[in-house]
Amino acid sequence: MTDAPDATTSRIPERPSLDGLEEKWMQVWADEGTYAFDRERALSLPRDQVFAIDTPPPTASGSLHVGHVFSYTHTDCMARYKRMRGLEVFYPIGWDDNGLPTERRVQNYYGVRGDASLPYEEGFTPPFEEGVDAKGKAIKAADQRPISRKNFIELCDVLTVKDEVTFESLFRRLGFSLDWDISYRTIDERSRAVAQQAFLRNLERGEAYQSEAPGLWDVTFQTAVAQAELEARDYPGAYHRVAFHRPDGTPVHIETTRPELIPSVVALIAHPDDERYQGLFGTTVTSPLFGVEVPVLAHRAAEMDKGAGIAMCCTFGDLTDVLWWRELQLPIRSLITRNGRLQAETPEWLVGGPGEELYAGSLATKTTFSAREAVVAALRESGDLDGEPQKTQRKANFYEKGDKPLEIVTSRQWYIRNGGREEALRGKLVGMGDEVDFHPAFMRSRYKNWVEGLNGDWLISRQRFFGVPFPVWYPVTADGETDHAHPIVAPESALPVDPQIDVPEGYEEGQRGVPGGFVADPDIMDTWATSSLTPQIAAGWPVREGAADGASRLGSDEALFGSIFPYDLRPQGHDIIRTWLFATVTRSFLEHGVAPWRHAAISGWILDPDRKKMSKSKGNAETPEDVVKANGADAVRYWAASGRLGTDAAYDTGQMKVGRRLAIKVLNASKFALGFGDVSGDLRAAVTNPLDLSMLSALAVVVDKATQGFESWDYTRSLEVTESFFWTFCDDYLELVKDRAYGGQGDEAAASARAALRLALETLLRLLAPFLPYATAEVWSWFGEGSVHRQAWPTRDELPTGGDAALLASVGAALAGVRKVKSEAKVGMRAEVRTMTLVAPAASVAHVRAAEADLRATGRISELTYAEGEAVEVRDAELVPVEKTPPPA
């Protein structure tokens, strides 16, 4: 060993600071490829030596929020730990940039909306930027300019790329150890090809199908909505007591919140046990205003204690109507169209009836609100409205990103079988959940409950623009009808295709839309239909099989995919278990017959001060950019890592300040520990002092606990035990060992102290590295080789044995007693203790005697005597205050 403050101390800054560390180390990590995935090494290793992460692709539609920081930090801590354990970590990043959120952002940002009927405008310049007009006023929906499908898609592409640059900058600053060379966009060429290939294989195996059926429809976004995207909300309405009529004219009163649907009624339905309606079952009644004869039927889904206990079944007002329609085999009398208005043509079942004139004159093309007003007015006039409407709050289904209640519209849509209508498949998909270790374990029940509660297949088509098109065309018959029963599918070798632009084999562009020609499928896939394939997209699942020029260009890597699939980890929030997690499981099972990963780490929500979930849609989300600038990335990561998996956490800047204090202390404590120059030789053998051995023995316990925490997916526990020890190390050990390390007790004693300091520092930096990547990288660079993030995770075998971990605690308690009496006497900590008695249990007295020299030097104690007692306490202390040096004249 050497006393010379040479190579090491020369690299230590005079005033260590967190300022500038992020810019410095972000660049170093990028230049040196610190976190790069080594594909060749991965292919040569046993599978259990590779750790593959199915990283969530954040939605590129505006700004991130602190919830992203929270959950992505959890994943990054695990990725860093696995890398330090020697595993080759596959840690890609993608951006989920297709779908409704992106389109809505483009509409609001540029003041445009897509219109498939308009021609493409070359060199189009959007009328607005950043959601405001030339005068700085916010753009209203009514002011949005309609543009062609192609122009709209181009703007989507431009804005998502712009957003993704911002997102990447923030992710890099937060120190996420992603391999930025393994990235994708869910709208890029490869993602489109993978999504289309998977769909074509689903179609070939009969797992995908098209059906004309009632489905949930968002009139604002003009698109179908899947069951997983529903959100039940309270919505103001009113009960209307309305009379239907028996053949003899006797009224049968129902209560409804949707009287505008009376022209579409197909039955009245009551519970089979409801005695009030036993005599009505099997008979018919006629509807008010329209005189349509409908049956009165029984079904157990009718609620006897709701309203009049008998309800209209209209096709369709809500999901119960769909259930009754399906199970009672009722006809369809659909009125509401895709734009949320009643159809323009008078329905054939009303033609010639008493309500034909009412429908044509007052209801056709009206919104549901206007139609409701017209029907209620007519009911008043006819006497079929019993009393006035009674206001109420009703539960209505909304699209999770929508503002108006969903309607149920009959339309042709694409579906993928997910067990919602097949018990055998549902059972297999429940079983897939049993193959995944959920963390925390109770989250598996959320998956299981969702799958078991499905009542329909997965609707994957959307009537929008920015997404993956279905690779399908349809023949047009000689009489101009579209033949949906015989779709023309693209060959896998041609993927990706856009059927709106590309032409199917055997046809020419001039045959588009004409008799004997073809038409393109007009829809795109739901964004989940693409993001459910993130494992396949990121790892090179093959596309264009047999195409010599296509596979490499589209990033196919069959060897890699075969090597790492199924992945090790899917991290995500608990609110999208029903969407992203289940959809990915479904696609993996259908294509590969296995669950797509071995573990699912489920993060909780971030809550605002009112304990409500933070989200952009609710307007209460904090954006992380300013938070990171104000506190530093290490501090924000500390806050995030302090929240356990599956547990909601409060947004807490106070916790971030604690994290910043910890990072600063790492710099300053390390400067002291390294300030004695380079150390060399067998450090373990050099540690001989009982206090040093005690500290390192306690640290060995921390290493075990921190490792166990990571292995059990409780990295919060790893942080807690490491941080707790670190503060003890700083507050007690560093103070106690200072005099000896400077040589106050001779060379051998100093050598032991310095070796212990170096061993402890090397261990603590590695334990803290997953949580505080910047501070630890900076300190490691002062004395170590390479990056701390590529060092081996510490083990207790690196530390000397034979120490008594309790010794440091006993001496620390004695030091605390000395500090207490000085504080109570209101003298400085450098005041001399001329004499004192330490009262402590016998075991503690023995510990202190073993390290008495360090305690006396630190506490400036001249005479120390001992007495046995139940607790550690300093008595009879005689203090000599430090005389203040007078200022110079």
pLDDT at 1: 41
Q: How many CA atoms lie within 13 A of 23 on its CB side?
A: 4
**Residue of 257, 456, 285, 473 lying closest to 369 (CA atoms):** 257
Averaged pLDDT score across all residues of the chain: 91
Please determine, for residue 141, whether its predicted confidence score (pLDDT) is greater than 80: no
Distance CA 833, CA 737 (A): 18
pLDDT at 323: 86
Token pair 């507050």: residue? 731
Please determine, for residue 8, whether its predicted confidence score (pLDDT) is greater than 70: no
3-class DSSP assignment, residue 866: strand
Give per-residue pLDDT as tens, 527-555: 999 999 999 999 999 875 554 444 455 78
pLDDT at 699: 98
| Phi, psi torsion values for 174, nearest 5 degrees | -75, -5
Query: Which segment of 55-64, 684-693, 781-790, 851-860 scores lowest on mean pLDDT?
Result: 55-64
Pairing of strands 488-489, 461-462: unpaired
Give per-residue pLDDT as tens, 241-299: 999 999 999 999 999 999 999 999 999 999 999 999 999 999 999 999 999 999 999 99
CA distances (Å), 128 to each of 94, 370, 466, 694, 833, in order?
29, 33, 20, 68, 75
Give per-residue pLDDT as tens, 190-231: 999 999 999 999 999 999 999 887 878 888 777 777 766 778
**Residue of 3, 91, 8, 21 lying closest to 660 (CA atoms):** 21
Look up residue 731 and give its two tokens: 């507050």
Please determine, for residue 746, whether its predicted confidence score (pLDDT) is greater than 90: yes
The DSSP bridge partners found for residue 864 are: 836
Instruction: Kindly report the pTM of this predicted structure.
Output: 0.85
Q: DSSP character for 69?
A: H
Q: Where are the beta strands (DSSP E) in 604-685?
A: 606-607, 649-650
pLDDT at 542: 86
pLDDT at 144: 87
pLDDT at 4: 44
Please determine, for residue 512, whether its predicted confidence score (pLDDT) is greater than 60: yes
| Phi, psi torsion values for 476, nearest 5 degrees | -105, 125
Distance CA 110, CA 112 (A): 6
Residue 702: which residues within 8 A CB-CB, separation 6 or more?
Answer: 721, 722, 725, 767
Please determine, for residue 235, whether its predicted confidence score (pLDDT) is greater than 90: no
Percent of the chain clearing pLDDT 70 (strictly above) = 95
What average pLDDT does this structure show over 45-55?
Answer: 97
Give per-residue pLDDT as tens, 418-427: 999 999 999 9
pLDDT at 223: 78
Q: How many CA atoms lie within 13 A of 441 on its CB side?
A: 2
pLDDT at 138: 78
pLDDT at 203: 98
CB-neighbour burial class of residue 521 (10 A; exposed 0-12, middle 13-18, buried 19+): buried
pLDDT at 616: 57
b/e map 135-146, b = 16+ CB within 10 Å: eeeebeeeebee
Q: pLDDT grade, residue 2 (50/70/90)?
A: very low
Distance CA 473, CA 469 (A): 11
Please determine, for residue 232, whether its predicted confidence score (pLDDT) is greater than 50: yes
Q: pLDDT grade, residue 470 (50/70/90)?
A: very high
8 or 180: which leads in pLDDT: 180
3-class DSSP assignment, residue 407: strand
Give per-residue pLDDT as tens, 344-388: 999 999 999 999 999 999 999 999 999 999 999 999 999 999 999
